[in-house]
Amino acid sequence: MKVTDTTQIIQLDMTKLFRLKVPEGKLRKEFIEKLRLMPEVLYAEENGTVAPLAVPSDTDYGSQWSLNNPVNPGADIHAEAAWDIFTGNPNNIIAIIDGGADINHEDLNAKIAEADTGFGWDGHGIHVAGIAAAESNNTQGISGVDWQARILAKRIDNLSDDADTYQAIIDAVNFSPNVRVLNHSWGTLFSNQAPGRYSTTIAQAFAYAYKANRVSVAAMGNHQITHNGTISYPAGFNNVIAVGSTNDEDIIATSSVQGANIDIAAPGVGILSTFTGGGYSFQSGTSMASPHVAGIASLLKGYRPNLANDDIENIIKISADKVGNDPYLNGFNNVMGHGRVNAAEALTLLQQNTLNQFTATGGTVASSTGNYSNVFYATSGLAPGTYIVKRHEVTKAVTFPSSFCDIVGAWGRGVGSIGYSVASPNYGEGFCEVIPGTQTSTGATLRTYVYQMYNVLGQSLGYYPTTPANVTFAYTVLGKTNTFAISGPDSFCDNAANYSVSNIPEAGTTINWTATGNTTFSGSTTGNTVTIVNNTLEQIVLTATIVTCGVTHTITKNILVGMPPVAAITGDQFATTGVLYGCFIQEYPEATAYEWFVTNGDATVYHDNTNWIDVMFEHDGYYIIQVKISTPCGDVWSEKLYVNVSEENQFRTITYSSFPNPVDSEITIQKIITRNKKRIKQIVQKNLALFC
């Protein structure tokens, strides 16, 4: 598959994946371990199914408090303030990988792009779909987080094993490039129904989605008390946004799984949403928290379609409210992650700042490992397998191409980077990060990794994905840029004009104005706006000196002031009847139209809306040629050109002579016009300064 930037991404070859049936118990575990030791086997693991995360029912909370909390104002996702900015993009599709959806539900039927037949898991998928993107503002039912996005409902409740779950995710990604976000309110289970089973097969599906620039959101899981410290998958994968659950007091739910892999928290206790039988139900769990984040991710992607999946994840983290009872270290804790999501703040960050996506190439090896073995899957140009590798940390100090007054955040983007992470196994995903502590107002140090690869015989296979000198770092900076500009007309006539500086990044910025020529300012020459009064025809340069964020910036604007001058037409004073004659006037840069007039006789004019014309005179006589130039300041008439038109002029010759010869400090030019065998002399005296 090719993503929009033409990058080729690799999908797992499922023809080499085998399902083996063995009895449960100790024999199964021993068999898996023996398979793993065989060099012919790339990986072996317990197969299994997936299940919805536990959803304890709680009906004590008000209708959709998660969007606007009436009991504890602000302890919600701030949906109403977000909708004041943006309600969604109908081109977006959120894939709900779950138990299916009810295509006939009154609050879902108009939003379903496609759905697998039927539904299971007791309506779990119906409830999840409604939270993310139920029909909204339609006087019935509930409102989804994203009012406009459509829903792709893929069933995994009725599938047999990991290979089928893998295929459901792949099919969702391949359904349409408009599938921007995938929600996963489920987790893998061991054969004893305990959570926390890592599936290489499913992990490859998530790597495929990540490389296709999709956002994957997953529920952290429940049963915090009985499974404390257990990482649930897919929430444990590095390429997903892992979501915990909060109650209406902005406290983590007692059942919400905690841990270092959590990214964010969202309301998940007593959430009202669509349900079976065309009705509605209150349900609780991280399954309900996850689609809130999926809906926000879809809003962000709809608002700025150029956002990468890593951009969306980082904006959601940065904009989160630091709530709860636990302290945050560097903006993070194991209970709430980066905090409770705030949809309004996330959109505001995009609305009030500039998001710049940059790339840099080439790096320097900062450190290297010794040789060790690592498994690689779905890597372009490399067969899946175990390799002997030497990993190199490649870094590059970059100066941001744009000047920033205030930086909200900077981060790496995997999609667009040519360099891998340290993950083992490695799924061939691009990787780039800003090394913590290196970001300044002008730059940062970036990091990625490359591998020297050897087969099991020790034969060199070269560098993957490229050499250190050829890595590509893709990174993003979000902040207020110093991209100032002076706005105002490029010219004005004999009255006043206002000019101002746009994109002022912060309060307290000072601006001082100056200008060249005979410029007069009306009022103050400090501040965001200035008024110029100038009646003299001239080209002036207006300068704004801006001091902001402790840095001085100077910007200028060239302005033409006053009416354009009257000019003479350049052309011969003699013309011949019936012979094409040409003349022109200097080009006026500010001209909007030219209109030529030929009087005192019959004539045909060509090219009369340019600064030159061709004329065919019909009769002998004196003709007058004049042109009217239209400008923003009004019409300007040229001087008149008198042309003597005669058939005899075709016999006219012009010769020039000069004396003395050789020339002295003064030279006389004699122009001799001969017509009808009669000599007519026109003598022009010119003093020429001669330089050697």
Residue 355's nearest CA partner among 242, 447, 243, 483 is 483
- The count of other CB atoms within 10 Å of the CB of residue 537 is 16
Read off φ and ψ for residue 465, nearest 5 degrees.
-80, -10
**Residue 55 confidence class, pLDDT cut points 50, 70, 90:** very low
Q: What is the mean pLDDT of residues 342-367?
A: 96
Cα(61)–Cα(247) distance, integer angstroms: 9
493 within some domain: yes
Same domain, 250 and 267: yes
Alpha helices per DSSP H over 65-196: 79-85, 124-133, 162-175
> How does pLDDT run across 160-177, given as a tens digit for each residue?
799 999 999 999 999 999
pLDDT confidence of residue 633: 75
What is the percentage of the chain residues whose pLDDT exceeds 90? 62
Q: What is the mean pLDDT of residues 359-371?
A: 97
> How does pLDDT run across 542-569, given as a tens digit for each residue?
999 988 777 788 889 998 887 777 889 9
- CB distance 252 to 207 below 8 Å: no
Cα(18)–Cα(15) distance, integer angstroms: 8
Is residue 4 predicted with pLDDT exceeding 90?
no
> How does pLDDT run across 446-459, given as a tens digit for each residue?
999 999 999 988 89
Q: What is the total residue count of the chain? A: 692
pLDDT confidence of residue 61: 33
Is residue 340 predicted with pLDDT exceeding 60?
yes
* 515 membership: H or E segment, kind and range: strand 510-515
Domain that holds residue 666: 654-686
Q: What is the mean pLDDT of residues 58-62?
A: 37
640 within some domain: yes
In the set 76, 98, 162, 311, the catalytic residue is 98
CA angle 540, 541, 543 (to 5 degrees): 145
Same domain, 30 and 94: yes
Same domain, 117 and 196: yes
Beta-bridged to residue 39, according to DSSP, are none
DSSP track, 573-615: SEE-TTSEEEEE----TT-SEEEEEEESS-EEEESTTSSEEEE
Residue 552 token pair: 């001085």
Same domain, 243 and 278: yes
Is residue 421 predicted with pLDDT exceeding 50?
yes
pLDDT confidence of residue 33: 78
pLDDT confidence of residue 181: 98
7 within some domain: no
In the set 124, 127, 184, 292, the catalytic residue is 124
566 within some domain: no
pLDDT confidence of residue 480: 82
Is residue 84 predicted with pLDDT exceeding 70?
yes
Residue 473's nearest CA partner among 400, 405, 408 is 400
In the set 185, 273, 284, 287, the catalytic residue is 287
618 within some domain: yes
Same domain, 388 and 503: no
Helix, strand, or coil here: 221?
A: coil
CATH of the domain at 627: 2.60.40.10
4 within some domain: no
Cα(642)–Cα(626) distance, integer angstroms: 9
Is residue 634 predicted with pLDDT exceeding 70?
yes
**Whether 136 is catalytic:** no
**Whether 619 is catalytic:** no
Cα(346)–Cα(319) distance, integer angstroms: 5
Residue 440 token pair: 């300044």
Same domain, 262 and 133: yes
CATH of the domain at 502: 2.60.40.1080
204 within some domain: yes
* 130 membership: H or E segment, kind and range: helix 124-133
Same domain, 371 and 325: no
Residue 268's nearest CA partner among 284, 256, 250, 280 is 284
Same domain, 131 and 231: yes
Q: What is the mean pLDDT of residues 224-249?
A: 88
In terms of Cβ atoms closer than 10 Å to its own Cβ (0-12, 13-18, 19+), residue 23 is exposed
pLDDT confidence of residue 484: 79
**CA torsion, points 409, 410, 413, 416, in degrees to nearest 10?**
130
Higher pLDDT, 7 or 124: 124
How many domains, the chain?
A: 5
Higher pLDDT, 187 or 50: 187
Q: What is the mean pLDDT of the chain?
A: 87
Last residue of a domain, one of 352, 375, 404: 352
**Whether 143 is catalytic:** no
Last residue of a domain, one of 460, 481, 502: 481
DSSP track, 274-332: E-GGG-EEEE-SHHHHHHHHHHHHHHHHHHSTT--HHHHHHHHHHT-B--SSS--BTTB
Beta-bridged to residue 416, according to DSSP, are none
> How does pLDDT run across 605-628, given as a tens digit for each residue?
887 778 999 999 989 999 999 999
User: Between β-strands 520-522 and 460-464, what pairing exists: parallel, antiparallel or unpaired?
Assistant: unpaired
- CB distance 151 to 101 below 8 Å: yes
